[in-house]
């Protein structure tokens, strides 16, 4: 019996060694799923198209407008002279306005790019967390099935003891109750796992019934040694928005300066510009737009200045919030690692040893039924808590990478 229990609890390791022969380990499979999600998720694809569109804005609004052609012909004149004139006019803003506009729209595109990075960051986080939740449920099912096999073994021994009068029918009923309870828990977890797989496939934008290969052992990603929230895409987006606000303030200043219309034209007695001898005059024309009414320009500059100061406040608030979240998750990681060490190296080995001794005593007719059931329940509970602590560890590491922007760097 001692060897049976040992076999039951090394089955996850054996199962993993079999699956390790497949093309990918658990962490490699997860990376493949993340890559698939980044390439196929509709939300990320929409944000990528938004960035592509935003890159064209500087071409639209950072160039000179179309020139105007002005034609004039005297259809009647008292001196009977047919006068024809043509002038090409070009509107010109104040010096530096066009380059400032191009910089402004390029910076807006950079903001959209940081929005795309944040969408990718969010998606990677969701895929990782969903994967870990599926693993936790999958491992719970496996642990319950192993314990069900243990109860089946105990039931066989009690049937033998019942024949010799060393056990009662009540003991068998108690074992049946324990088995029914575990079977019911397995059924509930299987339903949960089906739902989790549907959610996971939705993140990857594929059919909800697509099969997902899960692994018994949960690979531990490397915990970040240190990280700064300034690398978070949300934080970088605020920095880029501040650059936009600062450039917009410069645009507002340039709007309050004069603009020009410059033209070059010719006049002839009749529409005969092809004949140089018929050209009577060459004209240069300059129109200057004077920004006399200053209140609107002052309001425009004040508005841009307020937006820049508002961005500074948002930046500080986000830095404080992300830094607090970072510190909280570091504390959670320490707790998860302590729990893993306690369950794996202290509590579970001790309970397994006690259960082994009880099962040996049961074979000799000396062990109490209540003691075995209690130890079996305790071992089941600790196995599940160990898996939950490992899931918590991976979840917290994902949150740390999410806050510091390392998810995109590590997975894409």
User: With 60 as the cut, is the pLDDT of residue 273 above it?
Assistant: no
Query: What pLDDT band is residue 10 in, cutting at 50, 70 and 90?
Result: very low
pLDDT score at 24: 53
pLDDT score at 382: 95
User: With 90 as the cut, is the pLDDT of residue 73 above it?
Assistant: no
pLDDT score at 16: 35
* Mean pLDDT of all residues in 60-87: 79
User: With 50 as the cut, is the pLDDT of residue 9 above it?
Assistant: no
Q: Answer yes or no: are the C-beta atoms of 178 and 230 closer than 8 Å.
A: no
* CA-based end-to-end distance of the chain: 49
Bridge partners, 259 (sequence order): 289
* Mean pLDDT of all residues in 230-255: 90
Please give the structure tokens belonging to residue 378. 């305790």
Residue 246 in domain: yes
Residue 357 in domain: yes
Domain of 6 in residue numbering reads as: 2-40+93-256+291-411
Residue 5 CA to residue 9 CA, distance in Å, equals: 6
pLDDT score at 367: 57
* CATH code assigned at 12: 1.20.1600.10
Residue 176 in domain: yes
pLDDT score at 78: 65
Query: Which of left, alpha, beta for 270 (phi over 0: left; psi -120 to 50: alpha)?
Result: left
Residue 355 CA to residue 360 CA, distance in Å, equals: 9
Residue 66 in domain: no
Paired sense of beta strands 84-92 and 279-289, if any: unpaired
Q: Which residues 6+ apart lie within 8 Å of 133 measured at CB?
A: 196, 391
What total number of domains does the chain contain?
A: 1
CA angle 158, 162, 167 (to 5 degrees): 75
User: With 50 as the cut, is the pLDDT of residue 209 above it?
Assistant: yes
pLDDT score at 76: 66
**364 versus 57: which is more confidently predicted?**
57
CA angle 388, 391, 394 (to 5 degrees): 155
Residue 301 CA to residue 252 CA, distance in Å, equals: 5
3-state secondary structure the chain: CHHHHHHHHHHHHHHHHHHCCCCCCHHHHHHHHHHHHHHHCHHHHHHHHHHHHHCCHHHHHCCCCCCEEEEEECCCCCCCCCCEEEEEEEEECCCCHHHHHHHHHHHHHHHHHHHHHHHHHHHHHHHHHHHHHHHHHHHHHHHHHHHHHHHHHHHHHHHHHHHCCCCCHHHHHHHHHHHHHHHHHHHHHHHHHHHHHHHHHHHCCCCCCCCCCCCCCCCCCCCCCCCCHHHCHHHHHHHHHHHHHHHHHHHHHHHCCCEEEEEEEEEECCCCCCCHHHEEEEEEEEEEECCCCCHHHHHHHHHHHHHHHHHHHHHHHHHHHHHHHHHHHHHHHHHHHHHHHHHHHHHHHHHHHHHHHHHHHHHCCCCCHHHHHHHHHHHHHHHHHHHHHHHHHHHHHHHHHHHHCHHHHHHC
pLDDT score at 21: 40
Query: What pLDDT band is residue 275 in, cutting at 50, 70 and 90?
Result: low
What is the tens place of the pLDDT at every residue in 289-347? 888 888 888 898 899 889 989 999 999 999 999 999 999 999 999 999 999 999 999 99
What is the tens place of the pLDDT at every residue in 76-124? 666 656 778 889 999 999 999 999 999 999 999 999 999 999 999 999 9
pLDDT score at 45: 93
Residue 271 in domain: no
Predicted structure pTM score: 0.81
Residue 88 in domain: no
Residue 222 CA to residue 18 CA, distance in Å, equals: 24
- In the chain, % of residues over pLDDT 90: 52
Residue 385 in domain: yes
* Mean pLDDT of all residues in 16-43: 74
* Mean pLDDT of all residues in 224-234: 79
Residue 179 in domain: yes
pLDDT score at 159: 82
User: With 80 as the cut, is the pLDDT of residue 409 above it?
Assistant: no
């Amino acid at each position: 019996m001692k060897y049976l229990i040992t076999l039951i609890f090394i089955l996850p390791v054996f199962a993993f060694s079999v699956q390790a022969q497949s093309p990918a380990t658990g962490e490699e499979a997860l990376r493949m799923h993340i890559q698939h999600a980044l390439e196929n998720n509709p939300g990320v694809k929409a944000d990528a198209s938004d960035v592509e569109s935003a890159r064209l804005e500087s071409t639209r609004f950072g160039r000179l407008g179309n020139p105007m052609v002005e034609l004039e012909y005297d259809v009647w004149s008292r001196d009977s002279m047919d006068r024809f004139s043509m002038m090409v006019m070009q509107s010109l803003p104040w010096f530096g306005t066009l380059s400032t506009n191009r910089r402004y729209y390029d910076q807006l595109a950079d903001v959209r790019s940081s929005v795309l990075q944040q969408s990718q960051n969010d998606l990677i986080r969701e895929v990782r967390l969903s994967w870990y939740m599926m693993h936790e449920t999958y491992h719970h099912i496996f642990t319950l099935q192993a314990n069900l096999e243990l109860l089946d073994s105990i039931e066989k021994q009690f049937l033998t003891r019942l024949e010799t009068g060393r056990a009662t029918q009540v003991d068998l009923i108690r074992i049946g109750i324990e088995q029914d309870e575990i079977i019911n828990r397995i059924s509930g977890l299987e339903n949960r796992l089906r739902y989790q797989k549907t959610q996971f496939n939705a993140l990857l934008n594929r059919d909800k019934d697509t099969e997902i290969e899960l692994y018994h052992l949960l690979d531990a990603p490397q915990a970040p040694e240190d990280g700064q929230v300034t690398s978070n895409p949300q934080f970088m987006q605020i920095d880029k928005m501040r650059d936009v606000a600062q450039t917009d303030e410069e645009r507002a200043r340039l709007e309050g300066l004069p603009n020009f219309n410059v033209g070059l034209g010719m006049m002839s007695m009749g529409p005969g510009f092809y004949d140089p001898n018929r050209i009577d005059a060459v004209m240069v024309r300059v129109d200057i737009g004077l920004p006399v009414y200053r209140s609107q320009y002052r309001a425009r500059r004040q508005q841009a200045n307020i937006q820049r100061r508002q961005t500074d406040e948002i930046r500080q608030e986000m830095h404080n919030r992300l830094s607090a979240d970072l510190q909280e998750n570091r504390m959670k990681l320490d707790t998860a690692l302590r729990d893993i060490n306690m369950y794996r190296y202290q509590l579970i080995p001790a309970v397994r040893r006690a259960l082994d001794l009880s099962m040996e005593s049961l074979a000799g007719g000396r062990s109490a039924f209540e003691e075995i059931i209690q130890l079996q329940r305790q071992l089941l509970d600790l196995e599940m808590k160990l898996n939950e602590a490992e899931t918590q560890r991976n979840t917290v590491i994902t949150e740390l990478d999410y806050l510091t922007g390392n998810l995109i760097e590590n997975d894409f």
